[in-house]
Amino acid sequence: MSKLIILVTGQVYGPASGWHALQFTQAALAAGEQIHCVFFFRNGVTQSNALVCPASDETDLLREWQKIADQYHVPLINCVSAAWRRGIMSAADAKENGHSSHNLAEPFVMGGLGELVTGIEQADRMVSF
């Protein structure tokens, strides 16, 4: 069994990289792999937008990430700088920056690139999508 960190850079409903990251993560967990965390960077932070509403015939990627976090206790970490640039705010960040609302879905949390580097150091390998 190896310890993985998953890096997601693809937007929620754009190119299929977000979908592939989800499928890989589900398969790795089913195979008994340990996931240190899933780190969302660049357009990948859009995976955490609580206001995303997919069509009824599409997979709800947000809900699937939430299931992974709940079932396997995998941390879902957004790069805070990338998130802010794309209009994704936690409640605390919105309050601190004078915004009246937030849209970061639970259990996603904001973090920095330092957390990605620490995760890479602690993991056996990183898989990027």
Hey, what are 9's tokens?
């850079």
On whether the CB atoms of residues 77 and 117 are closer than 8 A, the answer is no
Q: Which of 22, 77, 79, 83 is catalytic?
A: 79
Q: Which residues contact 78 (CB under 8 A, 6 or more apart)?
A: 40, 45, 48, 88, 104, 108, 109, 110, 111
Q: Catalytic annotation on 79?
A: yes
Taking the C-alpha atoms of residue 75 and residue 10, their distance in angstroms, rounded to an integer, is 18
On whether the CB atoms of residues 46 and 15 are closer than 8 A, the answer is no
Taking the C-alpha atoms of residue 30 and residue 72, their distance in angstroms, rounded to an integer, is 10
User: DSSP code of 5?
Assistant: E
Residues annotated as catalytic (active site), given as ranges: 79
